[in-house]
């Protein structure tokens, strides 16, 4: 058994130290890749881009908005955007009274509750079941 292990170790050592011709690819220092949007020079040896150039162009106008008014207000929103946000927020910010909260607490079985902090329309309650 010892001799088998010795032979395997010797073969492993010899195979690792043997000078052989390994197929190493010829890596290029600079490769140019060009598209309609950018040009990049890439180094295969460093495995990273060397230089990058973007091309910009003034494209022709394909769409005509006609009589649609996209006038922006002072804060940068169009009237259409303001209306959309107003409709989205109309039914979400409903303020309920203290009595409605107290009724809800009683419905879930909490008889001991009190408001321990309030600032404007925000209130924190402590419930003890």
Torsion angle, CA of 5/8/12/15, rounded to 10 degrees?
Answer: 160
- Separation of alpha carbons 44 and 25, rounded Å: 10
- Separation of alpha carbons 70 and 76, rounded Å: 11
Q: Do 48 and 83 belong to one domain?
A: no
- Separation of alpha carbons 66 and 71, rounded Å: 13
Question: 108 lies in a domain?
Answer: yes
Query: How many CB atoms lie under 10 A from the CB of residue 42?
Result: 17
Question: 72 lies in a domain?
Answer: no
Residue 35 structural domain: 27-56
Question: 91 lies in a domain?
Answer: yes
Question: 64 lies in a domain?
Answer: no
- Separation of alpha carbons 16 and 19, rounded Å: 8
Q: Do 48 and 88 belong to one domain?
A: no
pLDDT digits (tens, 9 = 90+) for 21-66: 556 678 888 899 998 888 999 998 888 999 999 888 777 776 666 6
Question: 92 lies in a domain?
Answer: yes
How sure is the predictor about 126, in pLDDT bands with cuts at 50, 70 and 90?
Answer: very high
Answer whether 55's CB lies under 8 Å from 38's CB: yes
User: How many domains, in total, are found in the chain?
Assistant: 2
Quote the pLDDT of residue 51.
Answer: 92
Question: 106 lies in a domain?
Answer: yes
Quote the pLDDT of residue 69.
Answer: 60
pLDDT digits (tens, 9 = 90+) for 70-118: 666 666 777 888 888 888 888 777 788 889 999 999 999 988 999 999 8
Q: Do 120 and 85 belong to one domain?
A: yes
């Amino acid at each position: 058994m010892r001799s088998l292990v010795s032979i395997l170790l010797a073969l492993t050592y010899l195979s690792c130290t043997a000078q052989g011709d390994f197929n190493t690819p010829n890596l290029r220092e600079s490769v140019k890749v060009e598209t309609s949007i950018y040009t990049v020079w890439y180094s295969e040896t460093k495995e990273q881009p060397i230089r990058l150039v973007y091309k910009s162009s003034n494209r022709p106008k394909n769409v005509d908005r006609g009589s649609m008014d996209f006038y922006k207000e002072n804060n940068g929103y169009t009237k259409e955007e303001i209306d959309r946000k107003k409709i989205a927020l109309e039914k979400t910010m409903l303020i309920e009274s203290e009595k409605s909260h107290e009724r809800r607490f009683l419905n879930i079985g909490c008889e001991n509750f009190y408001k321990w902090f309030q600032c404007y329309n925000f209130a924190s309650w402590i419930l003890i079941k």
